[in-house]
Chains A and B, each alone.
Chain A
Amino acid sequence: MFKKILIANRGEISVRIIAACREMGIVTVAVYSDVDRAALHVRKSDEAYSIGPAPAAESYLRMDKILDVAKRSGAEAIHPGYGFLSENAKFAQACADAGVKFIGPTPHSMEMMGSKTRARQEMEKAGVPVVPGISRGLISPEEGEEVAARIGYPVMLKAAAGGGGKGMRLVHTSGELRSALESARSEAQRSFGDSEVYIEKAIVNPRHIEMQVLADEHGNTVWLGERECSIQRRHQKVLEEAPSPVVDPDMRRRMGEVAVKVAQAANYTNAGTVEFLVDQQKNFYFLEMNTRLQVEHPVTELTTGLDLVHLQIRIAAGEKLPFTQSDVEMRGHAIECRIYAEDPDNNYFPSPGKITLLLAPSGPGIRRDSGMYEGWSVPMDYDPLLAKLIGYGTDRQQAIMRLQRALGEYFVAGIKTNISLFQRILGDADFREGKLDTGYLDRLLAKGNPEITSDALERDKKALESIAAIAAGMFAVLDPVSPGSKNGDIGGPAAIPSNWKRKGRSETLR
């Protein structure tokens, strides 16, 4: 087993990996950029080294600096987390060349899955169901029209090197195809430096369901159940759950077996996720494979009772999987809410800044993976994910109730968060019935804020208004910190809370 591991990441995932290492008696090495000196992952690690300025391209994406820290600190392995260098085959190769174990798949597997057309070709060869279309770049608009006529509109144009919705175009009629292809190609060229665009049938209102797999370096591969990830916005997942409300044991087994086939076709090792699009008839099609630990891995951990990071480390150290497929059992239901620093009242615009107050929930059935703390300033340079709140229960209903309870206790001041969005989703009738697809969240948000429309809520709010008024007065008496002193007045010094004044006030009251 490794004695020391470097974590080439930041934020909540870094903290989560450090926890696993500490549990296993492994010394941890953190890296940090200039704006992350006070970040939680630096506080929690055994060793920490600076790797440069705030922009990720000058710090967390710098392979040379990270490998240099590995060498200096004597780390034997690197866990890349998710994002940053986690799916970079060149980095995995550079680690191998430097004699440091990369905790993840081989560069070869990553390369195969990195190009969507190449992955499609390999999967067709392996007999894995893919969305009807072609598995190479389009040569001309004429070819595109011909294929589209064969598979039927609507069709989707996709960048081979794509991700995050970039270089993707939905085309409804043949008239739109030529200009859509041109704009998809130029966007792909700008975003990925590769203009290859292919075509496949558009699945209308699909679900996005993914299957967790785990493979050791001795040829053993298992699947660990699905995650329903249909609740997305701007191609970013917002809430995930396991199991999916629509997957029955038979479908789960079939999806799992296909996922194992996908992993084996890529000679895959370590933890990976096979993403599927699922249509309204519950046909599932291979979409892509994510060659890393996923943000939403905790819902699988809670429903299988396994620790995926422990297992990743053991696999990377050369151990065999300590169980077989028939040992894997799924129990209960888990739902994850991604807490982002973003403002629900301002179109979910990112909201970095200092956290002035943080009240965090815990208790039965609640897991919280967090990278924030009170007094910390959320930097503006990175992804706005602050923490993940996961509810677990014997069934979906109980998981929802526990999350609603915990979300009510979760309070973050100083910055805006999307906590209120989850109360809306969890209380929504369609969500309760499991009627989900990738358009669900946009439809929910288009409905507008229920607070304005519901009379009952309006009455409740009115009753609470007097509570707010009394509270404001009691705060002023018991804990005066010059409320409103910064309220736009010009020139004057900010009112300094004076102990004399405070004392004087409470004396007058007596």
Chain B
Amino acid sequence: MVYEVMVDGKPHRLELETAAGGWGCRLDGRPIHIDAVITRGDVLSLLVDGHSYEIKREQTANDLYMWVGSTCFAVELRDPRSLRSRNKNAGDEMGARKILAPMPGRIVRLLVAENSEVEAGQGIVVVEAMKMQNEIKSPKKGIVKKISATPGAAVNPGDVLAIVE
């Protein structure tokens, strides 16, 4: 099994195979002795050369994170053999991106109109929760193809607010 793993934006090549008494693991070509057990959903106990790590997996509407102790890493995992992940890979850079509500809240106002050009990081809509307002930003430079958020409406995490292409 071979994976391309992006950790905080840096690419790594990870090879995993079952071996006697554990797992054979090569990271960027370097062999590493590991042992791994899922202790409960989303919590992995990993032994690396005798060092013990507890790793927590967190998935949000948009991203995947690995928490090693109290340190958080944004992770993207690609299986090079999978057509699906290759397609998705292309979509990340060139295709349309949905902007999803990261938290439950209420739409306060829209900051851009449909068909307007936006920069990466530019605010698209303002969502209010717990009496505070939060700007939801564009993940990429492009054109706002669609805005599905309406001011005053309640949103749930994962709801599509807008699409940027």
- A residues in contact (CB < 8 Å) with B: 341, 346, 349-354, 356-357, 359, 377, 379-384, 407-408, 411, 413-415, 419-420, 423, 460-461, 464-479, 481, 483-484, 486-490, 495, 505, 508-510
A472 touches B64 (CB 8 A): yes
Asked if B14 and A413 make an inter-chain contact with CB atoms under 8 angstroms apart, the answer reads: no
User: Which residues between 11 and 44 of chain B lie within 8 Å of chain A, taking CB atoms?
Assistant: 12, 14, 16-18, 23, 25, 27, 32, 34, 36-38, 41-44
Taking a contact as CB atoms under 8 Å apart, the answer to whether B88 and A384 are in contact is no
Q: Does A470 contact B34, Cβ atoms closer than 8 Å?
A: yes
**Taking each of B18, B34, B132, which has the highest tally of chain A beta carbons within 10 Å of its own beta carbon?**
B132
Lowest 5 CB-CB distances: which A-B pairs, in order?
Answer: A350-B130, A468-B73, A413-B58, A471-B55, A380-B129
Residue of B46, B53, B58, B104 near A356 (CB, 8 A) is B58
- Residue from A380, A460, A467, A487 within 8 A of B92 (CB atoms): A487
Q: Which among A359, A381, A468, A490 is the interface contact of B7 at CB below 8 angstroms?
A: A468
Q: A469-B27, A478-B36, A489-B91 in contact; A411/B12 too (CB < 8 A)? A: no
| Set of chain B residues within 8 Å of A359, measured between Cβ atoms | 43, 56
- Contact partners of B102 in chain A: CB under 8 A: 353
B77 at the interface (CB under 8 A from A): yes
Give every chain B residue within 8 A of A481 (Cβ-Cβ). Answer: 59
Smallest Cβ-Cβ distance to A481: which chain B residue: B59
Task: Give a binary string over B48-65; 1 marks a CB under 8 Å from any A CB, 0 the rest.
Answer: 100001011111111110
By the criterion CB–CB under 8 Å, are A357 and B18 in contact?
no
A353 adjacent to B96 (CB under 8 Å):
no
In the docked arrangement, what's the CA distance between A379 and B104, Å?
8
Would you mind naming 9 contact pairs between A and B with Cβ atoms under 8 Å apart?
A: A357-B41, A357-B43, A420-B70, A470-B34, A473-B14, A473-B16, A477-B1, A487-B88, A488-B98
**Cβ contacts under 8 Å, A380 to chain B:** 103-106, 129-130
Complex: how many Å from CA A487 to CA B25?
27
**Interface of chain A, main secondary structure:** mixed
Cα-based distance from A352 to B101 in the complex (angstroms) = 12
Q: Identify which of A377, A408, A472 contacts B70 (C-beta below 8 A).
A: A408
In the assembled complex, which residues on chain A have CB atoms less than 8 Å from the CB atom of B55?
467-468, 471, 475
CA distance A109 to B98 in the complex (A): 56
| A432 vs chain B, min Cβ distance (A) | 19
CB distance from A266 to the nearest CB of B (A): 32
- Bound complex: CA of A408 vs CA of B53, how far in Å? 13
Does B148 count as interface, using CB distance less than 8 angstroms?
Answer: no
Asked if A466 and B12 sit within 8 Å, CB to CB, the answer is: yes
B14's nearest neighbour on chain A, judged by CB, is A473
Q: How far is the CA of A505 from the CA of B95 in the complex (A)?
A: 29
Q: B132's contact among A349, A381, A477, A510, by CB below 8 Å, is which?
A: A349
Question: Which residues of the partner chain B approach A509 to less than 8 Å between Cβ atoms?
Answer: 1, 16-18
Q: Is the CB of B71 within 8 A of A461?
A: yes
Binary CB contact string for chain B from 89 to 126 against chain A (1 if under 8 A, 0 otherwise) = 00110011110101111100000000000000000000
Tell whether A488 pairs with B91 under 8 Å between CB atoms, given A352-B103, A473-B14: yes
With A353-B103, A483-B64 already in contact, the answer to whether A490 and B3 are too (CB < 8 A) is no
Kindly state the separation between the CA atoms of A295 and B134 in the bound complex, as whole angstroms: 27
Q: Once the chains are docked, how many angstroms separate the CA of A465 from the CA of B91? A: 26
A481 to B44, CA, bound (A): 14
A413-B67, A487-B64 known; 20 new pairs, CB 8 Å cut-off, are A341-B130, A352-B129, A356-B59, A414-B60, A415-B103, A467-B68, A468-B7, A469-B5, A469-B7, A469-B12, A470-B25, A470-B34, A473-B14, A476-B79, A481-B59, A486-B61, A487-B88, A488-B100, A489-B88, A509-B17
Determine the distance from Cα of A479 to Cα of B158 in the docked complex, in whole angstroms. 22
Quick check: is B152 within 8 A (CB to CB) of the other chain? Answer: no
Q: Is B80 an interface residue (CB 8 A)?
A: no
Q: Take A413-B58, A486-B158 as given contacts and tell me if A472 and B130 are in contact as well, using a CB distance cutoff of 8 Å.
A: no
A464 & B92 in contact (Cβ 8 Å cutoff): no
Closest Cβ of chain A: how far from B151's Cβ, in Å?
17
Partner of B3, one of A350, A381, A476, A489: A476
The complex places the Cα of A418 from the Cα of B1 at a distance, in Å, of 38
Choose among B53, B131, B158 the residue that contacts A471 (Cβ–Cβ < 8 A).
B53
Contact A490 B95 (CB under 8 A): yes
- Given that A474-B44, A474-B46, A509-B17 are known contacts, is A465 also in contact with B36, CB under 8 Å in the complex? no
Which single residue of chain A is at the shortest CB-CB distance from B76?
A484
A414 to B23 CA separation, bound complex (whole angstroms): 30
Docked pose: A479 CA to B40 CA in angstroms: 10
Contact assessment for A487 and B63 in the assembled complex, using a CB-CB cutoff below 8 Å: yes
In the complex, are the beta carbons of B130 and A467 less than 8 A apart?
no
B92 — which chain A residues lie within 8 A by C-beta?
A: 487-488
Residues of A within 8 A of B144 (CB): none
Contacts of B43 in A (CB 8 A): 357, 359
Query: What residue of chain A has the Cβ atom nearest to residue B67's Cβ?
Result: A411
A466 in contact with B27 (CB, 8 Å): yes
A490 touching B96, Cβ below 8 Å: yes
Is A384's CB under 8 angstroms from B67's CB? no
Q: By the criterion CB–CB under 8 Å, are B46 and A470 in contact?
A: yes
- Bound Cα distance A510, B25 (Å): 14
- A196 vs B19: C-alpha distance in the bound complex, in angstroms? 77
Q: Could you say which residues of chain B place their CB within 8 Å of the CB of A423?
A: 70
Output the least CB separation between B124 and chain A (Å): 14
Let me know if B66 is at the binding interface, CB within 8 A.
yes
In the assembled complex, which residues on chain B have CB atoms less than 8 Å from the CB atom of A407? 70
- CB-based nearest B residue for A465: B7
Q: A468 vs B53: C-alpha distance in the bound complex, in angstroms?
A: 10
Instruction: Return chain A residues, CB-CB under 8 Å to B139.
Output: 488
- The chain B residue sitting closest to A354, CB to CB, is B157
User: A476 touching B58 by the CB < 8 A rule?
Assistant: no
The distance in angstroms between the C-alpha atoms of A484 and B60, with both chains bound, is 9
Least CB distance, A381 to chain B, in whole angstroms: 8
Inter-subunit contact A465/B10 (CB<8 Å): yes
